[in-house]
A = this chain, B = another copy of it.
């Protein structure tokens, strides 16, 4: 087997310079998940670039020279939603040659989670920003449907393994709301008693000593997620 000695000059070698002929653009695309009333939504914008005119696309932008990737994602999130410090996670980078009609655009995909219940009033609903039920999203501009699918899989995996779901619920929630969240996002049915036993054993919820109001039935107790308790217990795996 032969070696390609040429590659011994590479990006990590002093000999090479950064070749400006290698022109490309780097963007960040955000899969923004929102949850409310037992439905998972995703934030989309209208695309007006041929050949995708009229299609929806993810929310994204070029990475600016002075910002790190996470910062770019956080900026995009903030510009679009007005919310600071949104939960964000890098998922995967997509760089196929022909994925963008304007040239070579490599994009780093993030997923983010938004408490729609809490922020509903504050979020913009206009031509540039719509929330679509994820079940209704059949296709998107560019390779954004593929990106969405992969980010959704990642979200589902994370939900099973880590307490990320709480970023989709209001600070105070009922156990049924929590169970519904898992059922909707993971697309499965859970047993109420087993679910509650499991959560009790995890010991990561704080009883708020409050109950629901404005419900026409017995009000449920409210809980909040307690990160400190989670860390204390050294759990590594939720497993629903």
A contacts, CB < 8 Å to B: 1-4, 6-8, 10-27, 29, 45, 47-50, 53, 57-69, 76, 78-80, 82-83, 90, 92-97, 100, 102-108, 122, 124, 128, 141-142
The 3 A-B pairs with the shortest beta carbon distances in the complex, nearest first, are A1-B82, A4-B79, A14-B49
Task: With both chains docked as a complex, state the minimum distance between the C-beta of A37 and any C-beta of chain B, in angstroms.
Answer: 22
Take A22-B63, A93-B108, A106-B69 as given contacts and tell me if A47 and B12 are in contact as well, using a CB distance cutoff of 8 Å.
Answer: yes
Take A12-B57, A25-B18 as given contacts and tell me if A68 and B97 are in contact as well, using a CB distance cutoff of 8 Å.
Answer: yes
Take A18-B103, A18-B105, A108-B95 as given contacts and tell me if A128 and B8 are in contact as well, using a CB distance cutoff of 8 Å.
Answer: yes
Contacts of A90 in B (CB 8 A): 92-93
Given A67-B97, A69-B95, A69-B106, output 15 extra A-B contacts at Cβ < 8 Å. Answer: A6-B79, A10-B76, A11-B27, A11-B61, A11-B107, A12-B57, A17-B102, A18-B102, A22-B26, A22-B64, A26-B26, A26-B106, A63-B106, A65-B97, A93-B93
Copies of this chain, tallied across the complex: 2
Q: Is A10 within 8 A of B60, CB to CB?
A: yes
Roughly how many angstroms separate A165 CA and B6 CA in the complex, as a whole number? 31
Roughly how many angstroms separate A69 CA and B164 CA in the complex, as a whole number? 29
Contacts of A104 in B (CB 8 A): 65
Q: Is B63 within 8 A of A19, CB to CB?
A: no
Task: With both chains docked as a complex, state the minimum distance between the C-beta of A207 and any C-beta of chain B, in angstroms.
Answer: 31
Contacts of A97 in B (CB 8 A): 65-68
Task: With both chains docked as a complex, state the minimum distance between the C-beta of A110 and any C-beta of chain B, in angstroms.
Answer: 10
Q: Is A61 within 8 A of B18, CB to CB?
A: no
Contacts of A8 in B (CB 8 A): 45, 128
